[in-house]
A and B are shown apart, each in its own frame.
Chain A
């Protein structure tokens, strides 16, 4: 495999992990604009663990993800007191505060950045990225996933049917943060260097953009968004300087024509019917516009 292809695959797989970090809170109706902060927490924690204690980089990444998960579960208590746009802004502020913490934390290099000694290659990243996808895809098919859709659509009815709405919302927030933490650890151990500038609001916004572009109604949407976001600029490589402008036009046009994202439940059902799968006779949905 050429270095170029390998480099793109690594970015693609990392973007898949980050995509599910944003997908989980969105599945519960929360727009997390501070995901970069959680990526940073995982990156610094795992780098510190493997650098200072010589722990296996894989264990360090998983450990970093777990600690990020617990941290998010705790911070979810005040964050989830806010709703809608206030919640998006609270996560934004949280991301900014975390980034400035990294900037001022001399033990991990502060503004100068922090070198990471242990290395994780393409294979390791691929295994973990696939695991993140499979865990998400499985959970989405469980009663947990079913109830999460209900919480997203109608909190009051979910509550009356016995769903602990607060607990589901906190778990969605924290599972996303945990994945972000794992992704951060992988990033640091692959590129061997992390610095606070990596974890800016622009990082968070771009992940949110490609996840919404892919669509959040199904578990495949974020995957498609990540693939698209990684590969489109490469396809447009000939017109180097225009590629982000073209990407932006693509976002705007997609939101006008298909505000629910590229993949929706409708397409998935159609595909399943095509292959003779279950789902019953749901033919009445032709041409409907799902609301996202």
Chain B
């Protein structure tokens, strides 16, 4: 049924939105494509499963999983970006890929590569409108994603820290001269980005009830595509791109088959890059031509 598919697509898109925002933050402000984000996403999903299985009270388990993700993101900052501000532009990219491999393989060593089922601590609640079924956790995660993006916009536009972040995005050297302590802001960016990715991973684990060491990759690749399609560095672009990709994905399966999903999603990405690299909503103009 098409309406149901559209609803499912939007719910899935909510997850992509969170990951896309995580990417767009480090790209937009630090001009760095942070490939450790899928690792952070996965760690948070895995820890949701681990903590729930250990019998931890679920609100604590959720918070714990998000904390692990944010901490991992901070670790990446300490070991990649803070060392490399002056060196060649693809170096942080390579390091962050190293962290992705590291996180995945540490989880693999500890818990194996099997798909693990997440047992929910609460019975699955569904809303029904006529013939439409909407899962409450999924609806909540979509609403949460949108609220967080609004919150992030307010943070960037209205607060002292937001102004400092935008100054860094414009030109880190100038910002430093104007008294912004860049070395203190960069970890903040990683933590905020890490929180978004971790939240995505946690919600993915709860919504789809399965986790495994490589769960971050596919979601992150779609998140990157969502970011570019919407407009790199543009937070609302990530929302539009994420929801669009979620819908395209389920429609590709609905009208063709699962093997067709990558063709339509990445085909759209390619067309956007060729015709309008700044994305549907336009990049914020802070993405310089670097890696």
Q: Which residue numbers of A lie inside 8 Å of B, CB to CB?
A: 31, 78-79, 81-86, 88-90, 92-94, 96-97, 99-101, 103-104, 110-111, 201-202, 205, 208-209, 212-213, 241-242, 244-245, 247-249, 251-252, 255-256, 259-260, 291-292
Contact = CB atoms under 8 A, between A and B. Distances in A.
Contacts of A110: 259
Given A97-B262, A110-B259, A248-B101, A256 B83 contact: yes
B207 interface: no
Determine the main DSSP class of A at the interface with B: helix
B33 to A, nearest CB: 6
B266 A251 contact: no
B87 to A, nearest CB: 4
Determine the main DSSP class of B at the interface with A: helix
25 contacts: A81-B274, A82-B273, A84-B289, A85-B287, A86-B232, A88-B33, A89-B273, A90-B273, A96-B221, A96-B269, A100-B263, A100-B266, A110-B259, A201-B217, A205-B35, A212-B91, A242-B109, A248-B102, A248-B105, A251-B94, A255-B94, A255-B95, A256-B79, A256-B83, A259-B87
A110 B228 CA distance: 29
B87 A291 contact: yes
B260 interface: yes
A86 B273 contact: yes
A256 B87 CA distance: 10
B33 A85 contact: yes
B73 interface: no
Nearest to B228: A89
Nearest to B112: A241
- Which has the most chain A C-beta neighbours within 10 Å: B84, B99, B101, B287? B101
Nearest to B277: A86
A85 B291 contact: yes
A255 B84 contact: yes
A86 B263 CA distance: 19
Nearest to B287: A85
A83 B270 CA distance: 14
A79 B95 CA distance: 25
A208 B96 CA distance: 13
A241 B107 CA distance: 11
A159 B92 CA distance: 30
Interface string B221-263: 1001100100010000000000000000000000000011111
A11 B95 CA distance: 24
- Which has the most chain A C-beta neighbours within 10 Å: B97, B221, B261? B97
A103 B259 contact: yes
A28 to B, nearest CB: 14
Given A83-B289, A86-B289, A97-B263, A248 B98 contact: yes
A280 B273 CA distance: 46
Given A82-B273, A259-B84, A251 B262 contact: no
